Amino acid sequence: MQLEDFDYDLPQELIAQVPLEKRDTSRLMVLDKNTGEVEHKHFTDILDYMEEGDTLVLNDTKVLPARLIGVKEDTGAVIEVLLLKDIEGATWECLTKPAKRVHVGTVISFGDGKLKAKCVFEGEDGIRKYDLIYDGILLEILDELGTMPLPPYIHEKLEDQTRYNTVYAKNIGSSAAPTAGLHFTKELLEKVKMKKVNIAYVTLHVGLGTFRPVMEDNILEHKMHTEYYEMSKETADILTKTKENHKKIIAVGTTSVRTLETIMTKYGEFKECCGNTDIFIYPGYQFKAINYLITNFHLPKSTLIMLISALAGREKVLNAYKIAVEEKYRFFSFGDAMIILDD
């Protein structure tokens, strides 16, 4: 399979730069994976595709406003730091730009010294580890000094930082939002419950690798990034019961899919567990966990468009994307949604 097989033409003006005023007013493309037929709806119509006993699976990871702009204390040089992972105590693994200016012992100051970062380790590809120095509560300091680490294709300023998190975001650890979930409001989730549809949560902390382009012409040579996931006993029990009752498991986002498919591939069942996954799903993969997928429109040549092509068929997906361009759907993180059906 060649990388070019997953390319499509996308006018730049269709890349959504800001979220809609109301989350659930996005458009919804409905794609039947068996026939390839497409319908045009609105996101609130998502309820029509759920029945009593089905389970909606949400990724409850949370993104911090972890992008910080500071200055080196000794030279005043401007340095950008993105907090990636809390390693231990106040020590964080971070992406640093320009990294060549930061060495062990370098101190970077943010917000006139309200937060300082002392480099304690130099890694590759811009990775540095820092001891953070501050008084008070780090989350409050980040709310004041930091901004959301928006994807590189978004150039507009995000006025409301909360819009790059889902309404159910809880577990801190992502460098990027699980964007298919951004369409749900608390009111819409209440309507899901009123239909006696289960809501189950998994956690997968989305890494920066999700934006890393596939460079290999032969996609089978691509090495996936690893991401941390968790499933609780409560969620495992709900999903097991859903399967036993021959009801649908509806995954919200490719991150939920990767979590569920990782667990079913590894254990052959849903169970309480945690670990790291580098699962790469592309055409030919046999799905073991999910029935329907709610997702956004993804970048050309990305591992995400490969994943949905594995579910619905490459030609059907590319045809649906061609229609989406013609109908001027909004693309990527703040864009419109698609549901892939298997009836």
Query: pLDDT for 62-92, tens place per residue?
Result: 999 999 999 999 999 999 999 998 899 999 9
Q: Is residue 289 part of a domain?
A: yes
Question: In whole angstroms, what is the distance from residue 180 CA to residue 286 CA?
Answer: 22
Q: Is residue 78 part of a domain?
A: yes
pLDDT score at 49: 98
Q: Confidence band (pLDDT; 50, 70, 90) for 212?
A: confident
Are 50 and 32 part of one and the same domain?
yes
Are 11 and 38 part of one and the same domain?
yes
For residue 98, cis peptide bond before it (omega within 30 degrees of 0): yes
Round the average pLDDT of the chain to a whole number and report it: 96
pLDDT score at 196: 98
Are 266 and 140 part of one and the same domain?
no
Kindly give, in sequence order, each residue whose CB lies less than 8 Å from that of residue 76, ignoring residues fewer than 6 positions away.
none
Are 238 and 202 part of one and the same domain?
yes
Are 114 and 211 part of one and the same domain?
no
Are 49 and 181 part of one and the same domain?
yes
pLDDT at 210 over 80: no
Q: Is residue 152 part of a domain?
A: no
pTM, full prediction? 0.94
The two tokens of residue 176 are: 């990027």
Torsion of CA 323, 308, 173, 15, to 10 degrees: -20
Nearest to 15 by CA among 297, 255, 209, 213: 297
The residue type of 112 is D
pLDDT score at 260: 98
Kindly give, in sequence order, each residue whose CB lies less than 8 Å from that of residue 13, ignoring residues fewer than 6 positions away.
none
pLDDT at 151 over 80: yes
Which structural domain range is residue 86 located in? 67-145
Q: Confidence band (pLDDT; 50, 70, 90) for 197?
A: very high
Kindly give, in sequence order, each residue whose CB lies less than 8 Å from that of residue 126, ignoring residues fewer than 6 positions away.
95, 96, 97, 99
Q: Is residue 155 part of a domain?
A: no
Are 217 and 88 part of one and the same domain?
no
Q: Is residue 153 part of a domain?
A: no
Beta carbons of 66 and 149 less than 8 angstroms apart: yes
pLDDT average, residue stretch 310-330: 98
Helical pair 314-326 and 303-312, crossing angle rounded to 10 deg: 110
Are 117 and 175 part of one and the same domain?
no
pLDDT at 211 over 80: no
Question: In whole angstroms, what is the distance from residue 101 CA to residue 72 CA?
Answer: 9
pLDDT average, residue stretch 115-126: 96
What's the number of domains the chain is made of?
A: 2
Specify the CATH number for the domain of residue 130. 2.40.10.240
